[in-house]
């Protein structure tokens, strides 16, 4: 299956039998990120978490501190 990264618009081929491929095919709300963009975002998120000023809004009204 050919997929396009939502951040950098790079087109890649992924195996048709992977669970992530099935999610992309059956649920159009799921998006694909290439490995490079995924790693870059993960690194930036880890840096923000380490500052101690990172909030997660899961419940809608309460702020949760991520440690």
Q: pLDDT digits over 3-15, tens only?
A: 999 999 999 999 9
- Structure letter (DSSP) for residue 56: E
Q: For tokens 């709300």, what's the residue?
A: 29
Q: How many domains does the chain have?
A: 1
pLDDT for 36: 95
pTM: 0.66
- pLDDT value of residue 59: 62
Q: Which residue range(s) make up the domain with 11? A: 2-65
Mean of pLDDT values over 29-57: 87
Residue with the bigger pLDDT between 32 and 53: it is 32
């Amino acid at each position: 299956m050919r997929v396009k990264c939502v951040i950098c618009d790079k087109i890649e081929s992924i195996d048709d039998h992977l669970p992530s491929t099935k999610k992309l095919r059956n649920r159009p709300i799921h998006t694909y990120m290439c490995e490079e963009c995924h790693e870059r975002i993960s690194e930036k998120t880890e840096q923000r978490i380490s500052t101690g000023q990172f909030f997660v809004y899961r419940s809608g009204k309460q702020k949760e501190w991520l440690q």
